[in-house]
Structure 1
């Protein structure tokens, strides 16, 4: 069969593809030798396994009609596809399914609409699919993409699959071949520069605004570069269990304002670089269970987020964690697993779960790098009260006052220490009773041994050391003992101490009661 330009004559491999397309049958050019069929060595494949990209594009763009009663599609295994596969702006009715193929140049689906695209176990240079619509499955399982995938504002109605893939940011794998591809890629690179206004060189996946209706399965990936998912929507959830992301810039994952039914960065997920999910919204579980997270500065930025359940129990975490101003339904974590710096101001939660103690929670609250903030203590105390643990709530609020005292001026610190010592800032009122008992016992014993002198000898009175001591402790004389008896010698100092202590105890009790009874709010 002879074709007019631009194809010229078809090679035997191309003729097989041409003839198979109308019925959507497979064309398998593999030899059966596992090593020889590895697409990583596809540059060595000869003409018997070579298909020009322009032939593939022509078929997908309608060069041949479907066979009656069959579904047309290009299904190709073990081929070397040469040239740029440019399907930009096209509407494709046939499915594209490549298995163990080698595509050393760009695959472009920019602004295209297709029924399904699958690259399984393939070796690709770069995929450009900005604003494309895939009415079905978009798959790169087991594939290697040497210069990144661009999917900004794309829409996938089915699943998005990248499991077991190897992804590299532009330049990380292809510098050696850059001169060879420079002329081919220049028009695409210039178009990207005009469109993007941002540096894509550090991102293995550039997918801001991506929408995936089904699940996004990104398990067991190995990524050199970052995943940029700002504003992406994963209605069926996003799953990155056991994946390893090594950032070439500051961010391993940048997914501000992402929306997802669930998000799994768990079960061995490893990230070197910041995981940024500021303003994200997860309607199910956001899990970092068993993850290894590391960054030189901030390792997890999860501020202003809304999450139904956050599981934060990583195997290892190094760097600062920011949970500020987020709203959580359930927080399941281990406070001992947190790093030394945790921002919690503004964080609210409906429930806390996990294996922890109140002391661990208080230590958790004390790790804010910005110093004392009252809201995290109030939030924790509110939760304890809601579940009926009033003693624990009082313990938290006492810790809050002690932490606040460090921020006060010297006079405030002195008064605070006195309140703490006497009544525990009002949260330990039994301390006042303890001090009263000590003073009463001491005064009673001393005045029984060294009775005071009667001021009016003509008045008939019986001295009671306990009642006399109690009258000295009460700020206003109740038993009229002070005016009837006068301490002698060194016991005058004890009497003055008892009077002063009574005033201090009364003032501390009033101040503590006012602190406990007033409405909760920042101090």
Structure 2
């Protein structure tokens, strides 16, 4: 393109390019703010440079007409287009760029799949109603999309609003205050730094608000005060640091609101988050520290296979047990064992026993009638071995009852000349304890009602001994 074809504003940009000077057209009249995309392309791909200077395209407030066509192009100069309005979506597919800054621009869409950026990519504060295609992009620096508004406010795109799937980002994905109407997709992406989505609003009711399956992050994922209408799907997520959703709101009525299954996470935080509207799935995940208050969980959860090291905050077992009753799969033994292990790890053995007792009771409901009857008996007598004081209470009560009864109605001696002196307490103990022989039971024989009481004490003693043995065996095996 010959330089005499340029308009006044284009000439200013052309002359400023070799030194990287900034041209601000914000205050210019409408007609003076127009730049043709082909002029910018000619600058970026030509040899219009000066020795000893660092060329760069730096323009603010322009209206760019036509398509900025850089498909498969190699642009060695940094591109900074601030608060510009694009009439057509830039085509950067497969391009190799030094740096790209489109902060506060208005674009119909952005087509930049498989783009390579040697520095940072910025769409801070942009308004882009169409799709932002960055699938397979390689960004050596950070990706800034803070306070950007993506997607149409009315209607819905036929594709994800933000596509960062299989992308590689060398530093952070920085998106505090992001507003996305439609799906944000980060499937298979690799981010060396952190993903920042504090105060973001992800709006895709009935679909995926955030799809980040198999996302690998080098440090943390922050979504404090995040609002998500639609499913947040984080299956296979890898976060060595924090996945922090403190104060966040998740809503997907009738479906899964938060899915963090088959993931490996250092810490998962939902501190002071309101009750989640929709199902929560944490199946098969491994989490070092799990901080989700019981009141944040919805009515249905999936926790089978979830492994965690520490629960925070420390809550009474009764508060945690209610959550296990909401398991969609019904009775899941692993969930009770995991909760027991967590309490034992912090030295709260009483809470651990409470969880194990609740597990036996829940399991009992799945058994046939005869097994449920035996389970009820173990529960009432010794609490399945986790309430051993109950057995002592039953024994003491029966011992007192028998002693008083046999004091009032002493049994007759079988051999009066050879029998030891009768002792009501020892006689009752002889009846109650199957493996104890104090010489009283064999020497005396009760009559009438006392005889039936003796039979009852013998049977009850065997039942207590059997249930105590079963409970003690179960407790020892758990330890």
**What band does the TM-score fall into relative to the shorter chain?**
over 0.9
RMSD, matched Cα: 1.9
Q: Does 1:83 align with 2:66?
A: yes
Aligned match of 1:24 in 20, 24, 31?
Answer: 20
Match of 1:418 in 2: 377
Relative to structure 2, which stretch is displaced further, 12-21 or 123-132?
Answer: 12-21
- State the partner residue of 2:367: 408
How big is the shift at 1:141? 0.6
Pick closer, same or farther for the CA change 1:49–1:227 going to 2, 3 Å.
same
Is 2:20 the partner of 1:14? no
1:114 is matched with: 97
Q: Are positions 1:308 and 2:266 aligned together?
A: yes
Contiguous gaps of at least 5 residues in structure 2? none
Q: Give the superposition deviation at 1:114.
A: 0.6
1:476 shift after superposition: 4.3
Distance in 1, matches of 2:260 and 2:34, equals 48
What is the rounded CA distance, in whole Å, between the counterparts of 1:256 and 1:419 in structure 2? 46
Which digits, 9 at most, give the CA deviation of each residue in 1:261-294, with x for residues without a partner?
A: 3444433210001111101100111001010111
Number of equivalent positions: 477
Counterparts of 2:128 and 2:469, CA distance in 1: 71
Give the whole-Å Cα distance in 1 for the aligned partners of 2:474 and 2:88: 71
1:105-254 aligned at under 5 Å gives the runs 105-168=88-151, 201-247=158-204, 249-254=206-211
Question: How many Å separate the matches in 2 of 1:50 and 1:71?
Answer: 25
Q: Aligned residue for 2:460?
A: 501
2:293 to 334, 340, 350: 334
CA distance in 2, matches of 1:316, 1:421: 36
Equivalent position of 1:344 in the other structure: 303
Residues 415-454 of structure 1 aligned to structure 2 (within 5 Å): 415-454=374-413
Q: Which residue of 2 aligns with 1:278?
A: 235
SS state at 1:361 partner: helix
SS of 1:123's partner is coil
Contact 2:98 2:117 in 1 (8 A): yes
Report which stretch shifted further, 458-467 or 107-116. Answer: 458-467
**Contact 2:37–2:64 (Cα < 8 Å) also in 1:** yes
2:38 maps to which residue? Answer: 54
Match of 1:188 in 2: none
TM superposition shift of 1:435:
0.8
Contact 2:205 2:252 in 1 (8 A): no
Q: Deviations over 1:496-521 (max 9, x none)?
A: 1101101101110121122122257x
Does the 8 Å CA contact 1:74/1:96 hold for their aligned counterparts?
Answer: yes
Give unmatched runs, 5+ long, in structure 1: 33-44, 176-199
TM-score of the superposition, structure 1-length normalised? 0.87
- The residue number in structure 2 matching 1:391 is 350
Gap change, CA 1:235 and 1:422, over 3 Å in 2: same
Q: How do residues 37-48 of structure 1 correspond to structure 2 at under 5 angstroms?
A: 46-48=30-32
* Cα distance change, pair 51–203 in 1 and its aligned pair in 2 (3 A): same
TM-aligned CA distance change 1:355 to 1:383, over 3 Å? closer
2:247 matched residue in structure 1: 290
Q: 1:373 aligns with which of 310, 324, 332?
A: 332
> In structure 2, how many angstroms separate the alpha carbons of the residues matched to 1:391 and 1:316?
28
Q: Distance in 1 between matches of 2:110 and 2:346?
A: 53
Distance in 2 between residues matched to 1:207 and 1:117, nearest whole Å: 16
Q: Are 2:433 and 1:474 equivalent residues in the alignment? A: yes
For 1:259-278, list aligned pairs within 5 A.
259-278=216-235
CA contact (8 A) 1:211 1:234 kept: yes
Superimposed CA distance per residue, residues 94-124 of structure 1 (whole angstroms, 9 cap, x where no aligned partner): 1111111101211111111111000111100
Distance 2:108 2:212 in 1: 25
What is the DSSP-based 3-state SS (H/G/I as helix, E as strand, rest coil) of the residue aligned with 2:422?
coil
Q: How many angstroms apart in 1 are the aligned matches of 2:378 and 2:205?
A: 53
Q: Is the contact between residue 221 and residue 239 of structure 2 (CA under 8 Å) also seen in structure 1?
A: no
* Aligned-partner SS, 2:240: strand
Give 3-state SS (helix, strand or coil) of 1:444's partner.
helix
Equivalent of residue 68 in structure 1, options 41, 51, 61:
51
1:372-408: CA deviation from partner (whole Å, max 9, x where unpaired): 1111111121222223222222221111111111111
CA contact (8 A) 1:336 1:360 kept: no
Pair 1:100-2:83 in alignment: yes
Deviates more, 1:226-235 or 1:470-479: 470-479
Tell me the SS of whatever aligns to 1:293: strand
Matches within 5 A, 1:309-324: 309-313=267-271, 314-324=273-283
| Partner SS for 1:75 | strand
TM-score, normalising length: structure 2 = 0.95
Q: CA shift at 1:242, angstroms? A: 0.5
